[in-house]
Amino acid sequence: MKVAVILPCYNEELTIGKVIDDFRKELPEATIYVYDNNSKDRTMEVAKQHGAIVKKEFRQGKGNVVCSMFRDIEADIYVMADGDDTYPAEFVHNLIEPIKTGEADMVIGDRHTNGTYSKENKRAFHNFGNHFVKSLINKLFKASLSDIMSGYRVFNRKFVKNMPVLSTGFEIETEMSIHALDKNFLIKEIPIEYRDRPEGSYSKLNTFSDGIKVLKTVFWLFKDFKPLVFFTFVALCLFIVGLIVGVPVILEFIDAHYIKKVPSAILSGSLMILSTLSLSCGFILDTIVKQHKQNYAMFLNRYEG
């Protein structure tokens, strides 16, 4: 099987050389690709010196890099990691094995099960955000994943070539997890160790802005993948508010056979109409989504990797 190690990079001059050497030691038969995302340091030069195939992605954002990697690179097994030396290369054999045996289409390097992520990562809000997003997605998709946002993953060709990458930034891992859950791909998690960046290297993640992007991604993907649940919730909220506004109007009419609170009556009626429309949209979109899933399943059946 042809193995490709794909490393998206942005200003990783200090670490990328070691990451390339570590993966070459573990996978001497693999081809190592480094996609530079407009780095302002010597990332490209160092990567070339260490023997990687270096390409440049001019569209800023990790999602854009992953999109180009998935479309450009031809392989049977794809190993994706970061260029910051936070994911130990020695775990790659454990991650590849389920792909080779057909047990999984995507294998996730789970940073949380053995507790090393919470110990090594000094940013408390990152830990909180990871657990919050994980709990939310697991609840929405009735899953039991431990690490939704890990950047250490291994894929087979079928997953890579049939993954529509829509995210442009660091929310790409969340999108891949949701896509795999929704399209019923086989997912397996393998516990790994996580280590913080070495001294002198700094993270490009912004806890709040990137956290908001991830939550927005979850919100919109929830709407797209689970429209009936989403619009039923919206309809229920509108119905409750309309009921709260409308009950005094109904009681007034029962008591006096006359309505003085005309604005409240209009508002309540409008909210009830919007609630009905929201529920109708949910049913219509749910039918469309189910049809899309059927078409996607038929496409996968015809796919030849």
DSSP 51-78: T-EEEE--S-SHHHHHHHHHHH---SEE
Same domain, 259 and 210: no
Model confidence at 200: pLDDT above 70: no
pLDDT at 214 over 80: no
Tell me which residue range forms the domain holding 293.
227-302
Predicted TM-score (pTM) of the model is 0.82
Instruction: State CA 262 to chain mean position distance.
Output: 48
Q: How far apart are CA 297 and CA 180, in angstroms?
A: 13
Whether 289 and 144 map to the same domain: the answer is no
Same domain as 239, residue 201: no
Model confidence at 124: pLDDT above 60:
no
- Give the per-residue pLDDT at 109: 96
Cβ neighbours of residue 77 closer than 8 Å, sequence gap 6 or more: 1, 2, 3, 4, 96, 99, 100, 154, 155, 156, 157
| Residue bearing the bigger pLDDT, 211 or 152 | 152
Q: Do 96 and 28 share a structural domain?
A: yes
The stretch 103-108 carries a mean pLDDT of 97
Examine the fold and report which residue of 224, 253, 276 is the final residue of a domain before the chain moves on: 224
pLDDT of residue 265: 93
On whether both 141 and 235 belong to a single domain, the answer is no
Q: Report how far residue 132's alpha carbon sits from residue 221's, in angstroms, rounded to the nearest whole number.
A: 16
Task: Name the token pair of 15.
Answer: 């670490």
The dihedral built from the CA positions of residue 34, 37, 42 and 45, taken in this order, carries a sign that is positive
pLDDT at 272: 96
Last residue of a domain, one of 178, 202, 224: 224
Does residue 288 carry a pLDDT above 60?
yes
CB 66 within 8 A of CB 14: no
Number of domains into which the chain is organized: 2
Looking at residue 106, its pLDDT comes to 98
CA 187 to chain centre: 13
How far apart, in whole angstroms, are the C-alpha atoms of residue 276 and residue 118? 45
| pLDDT greater than 60 at residue 31 | yes
Say if residue 238's pLDDT is above 70: yes
Q: How confident is the model at residue 41 (pLDDT cuts 50, 70, 90)?
A: very high
Band the pLDDT of 169: cuts 50, 70, 90.
confident
Q: Of 192, 224, 256, which marks where a domain is finished?
A: 224
Is residue 99 located within the same domain as residue 198?
A: yes
Q: Which of 124-138, 170-184, 198-212, 227-241 has the highest average model confidence (pLDDT)?
A: 227-241
Query: For residue 258, what pLDDT band results from cuts at 50, 70 and 90?
Result: confident
Give one DSSP letter per residue of 145-193, joined into a string: -S-SS-S-EEEEHHHHHT------STTHHHHHHHHHHHTT--EEEEE--
Query: Which residues lie across from 191 on neighbouring strands?
Result: 110
Share the mean pLDDT of the chain. Answer: 90
Looking at residue 136, its pLDDT comes to 86
- 53 within 8 A of 33, measured Cβ to Cβ: yes
How far is residue 4's CA from residue 154's CA, in Å, rounded to a whole number? Answer: 10
pLDDT number for residue 203: 60
**Residue 155 shares a structural domain with residue 30:** yes
Once rounded to an integer, what is the mean pLDDT over residues 270-282?
97
Q: Tell me, what's the pLDDT at 125?
A: 57
Tell me, yes or no, whether 184 and 239 share the same domain. no
Q: What is the pLDDT of residue 131?
A: 80
Among 31-40, 212-221, 252-261, name the most confident range: 31-40
* CA dist., res. 146 & res. 110, Å (int): 7
| Greatest extent of the chain over all pairs of C-alpha atoms, in Å | 87
- Can you give the pLDDT at residue 122? 56
Asked if 121 and 46 sit in the same domain, the reply is yes
Same domain assignment for residues 202 and 284: no
| Cα–Cα dist 209/195, whole Å | 23
Domain CATH code at residue 219 = 3.90.550.10
The rounded Cα 70 to chain-centroid distance in angstroms is 15
Q: What is the mean pLDDT of residues 237-261?
A: 91
145 plus 261 within the same structural domain: no
DSSP classification of residue 19 = H
Which tokens sit at 169?
């930034």
* 31 and 92 assigned to the same domain: yes
